Amino acid sequence: MGGDPLSCIKNNMLNLNAFSPVYCDTVRDHYGAENTRGRREQLLTKMTFFERFERDILSGAKTITLRDEAESHVTAGQVLPVSTFETDRWFCDIQILEVSPIALSDLNQAHAEQENMTLAQLRLVIAEIYPGLEQLFMIRFRVLNPVGESDTGAF
């Protein structure tokens, strides 16, 4: 994609059901809101979670996710559809509130509470998903419309 911003925006709008990062300066989320980054990056157009986290996300008990660098390309204000990792089943949309780097060694009880688990459980989950990784990104989000409430018609 590259130079033509219009094709970049159109591709972002058309590829909502596939995990296909978009490479451009300006993208529109699936609600049409414009998101601009200062540098060119691939912005995610979708986020997936393991099914075991769905209930916590929908209830509001899980309000952050910890991701590696490759999965950190989102920006505050961006709205993303969320699906299960295992079956790609959509279950809500989220709005990104904050993205910040964090070292594994800096995780504390407050992060664990935002993940709805103990600190020991959080460290085990991170080690299982990202073995040997020290640098993570904390993505804080809020649920916009859970299952059965999508007004986009795309899911």
What local confidence, expressed as pLDDT, does residue 119 receive?
97
What local confidence, expressed as pLDDT, does residue 110 receive?
97
Number of residues that this document lists for the chain? 155
Q: How far apart are CA 92 and CA 81, in angstroms?
A: 6
Residue 51 has pLDDT above 50, yes or no: yes
Q: How far apart are CA 124 and CA 113, in angstroms?
A: 15
Q: pTM for this structure?
A: 0.70
Indicate which residue of 45, 46, 62, 63 is catalytic. 62
Residue 62 catalytic?
yes
More confident of the two residues 25 and 117: 117
What local confidence, expressed as pLDDT, does residue 149 receive?
57
Residue 32 has pLDDT above 70, yes or no: no
pLDDT digits (tens, 9 = 90+) for 135-146: 999 999 999 987
More confident of the two residues 16 and 48: 48
Which residues neighbour 128 within 8 Å (Cβ) at sequence distance 6 or greater? none
What local confidence, expressed as pLDDT, does residue 42 receive?
86
Residue 46 catalytic?
no
pLDDT digits (tens, 9 = 90+) for 55-109: 999 999 999 999 999 999 999 999 999 999 999 999 999 999 999 999 999 999 9
Residue 115 catalytic?
yes
Indicate which residue of 26, 65, 84, 128 is catalytic. 65
3-state helix/strand/coil string of the chain: CCCCHHHHHHHHHHCCCCCCCEEEEEEECCCCCEEEEEEEEEECCCEEECHHHHHHHHHCCCCEEEECHHHCCCCCCCEEEEEECCCCCEEEEEEEEEEEEEEHHHCCHHHHHHCCCCHHHHHHHHHHHCCCCCEEEEEEEEECCCCCCCCCCCC
C-beta separation of 82 from 93 below 8 A: yes
pLDDT digits (tens, 9 = 90+) for 111-128: 999 999 999 999 999 999
